[in-house]
Amino acid sequence: MRNRKIIMAARPVGRPKPTDFQLVEEDAPEPRDGEVLLRTLWLSLDPYTRGRMSAARSYAKSLEVRDTMVGGTVNEVMASRRPEYRAGDIVLGYAGWQEFAISNGTGLRKLDPGRAPISTALGILGMPGMTAYTGLTIIGQPKAGETVVVAAANGPVGSAVGQIAKIKGCRAIGIAGGADKCRLLIDEFAFDAAVDHRSASFADDLAKACPNGIDIYFENVGGAVWNAVLPLLNNFARVPVCGLIAHYNDTELPPGPDRTALVMRNILTKRLTLRGFIVSDFVAHAEEFERNMGSWLREGKIKYREDVVEGLEKAPEAFIGLLSGRNVGKLLVRVNSPTK
């Protein structure tokens, strides 16, 4: 048997070109003890693969030139030298862009073809579906009546986000490229509104589609879509940062001081939690604060320092000094001494 596989022939610069890939033929491998031979039935193509082709440090290892392209697969077991698999079993695997692969069983999961079409293990019942479900419900925390916006909304992640948002009682707004894709959002996936990010009036159209602002923006794309979303975010909006496909082919940051793409990339790949707050949001914790801080102070576990300026007339100068770092510790003006 011959194996056909696609390797990364060159590291792409910007948008990948056909010459960055190469089809290679070789003898199909033979399973040894503890291994199974897999034949690929379905191969998943996903945006993250562009990241694997880049040498930039990320959450997963980069491909080297001449490596087989990586990807999730649904496979048929052709021959097994592992007790838990038999020829004919259908499994979810990670065989990559090739027809045959050897596996030692790591990461393989048996699929039940009677439960759902086996291809769904790579989509709605697989990684993209789970991405949508977890990102929206755990990070997004949707509540009935809220407005949820998602871009790349026809894709496996976005379409699931929109539909789960509806199940949770939210208003779902989908962003897609072009009139046909927008129509599909309404007709097939029952979004409440669809907005075309290729239209010249995109930002205005999005604002009109979100008269009550945006409570959850499920970030799949970044770039111009993020710029249009940002001013519409409500207080306490949540932004699960899932993907930034608008930037995957970037070779450098845009000129000028705008570092949004870099910030967002770090938020995503390092799973940063950034959450703004105003202390008054937490009045309910005041008693707990006073109890803990009071006892830490009494026990000498916490120190504090005061920078005291004498006389109200010194307040302006001291305040100006505060803004340039002249104070050391809590800046206070002693305005008067107690009468007793």
List of residues contacting ligand NAP (CB under 6 A): 46-48, 128, 131, 151-152, 154-158, 176-177, 181, 197, 220-221, 223, 225, 242-243, 245-246
93 or 158: CB nearest ligand NAP: 158
Which among 147, 129, 235, 160 has a CA at the least distance from the CA of 193? 147
11 or 52: CB nearest ligand NAP: 52
> 71 near 94, Cβ under 8 Å?
yes
Quote the least distance from Cβ 48 to ligand NAP, whole Å. Answer: 5
Strand locations in 115-256, DSSP E?
147-151, 171-176, 193-196, 214-218, 233-238
113 or 117: CB nearest ligand NAP: 117
Phi/psi class of residue 158: alpha, beta or left (left: φ > 0; alpha: ψ in -120 to 50)?
A: alpha
99 or 196: CB nearest ligand NAP: 196
Quote the least distance from Cβ 46 to ligand NAP, whole Å. Answer: 5
Quote the least distance from Cβ 247 to ligand NAP, whole Å. Answer: 8
Quote the least distance from Cβ 193 to ligand NAP, whole Å. Answer: 15
Quote the least distance from Cβ 233 to ligand NAP, whole Å. Answer: 18
> 26 near 3, Cβ under 8 Å?
yes
Q: What is the largest CA-CA distance in the chain?
A: 99
3-state secondary structure of 325: coil
16 or 321: CB nearest ligand NAP: 16
CA distance 172 to 163: 8
CA distance 157 to 127: 9
Quote the least distance from Cβ 124 to ligand NAP, whole Å. Answer: 11
> 105 near 111, Cβ under 8 Å?
no
93 or 129: CB nearest ligand NAP: 129
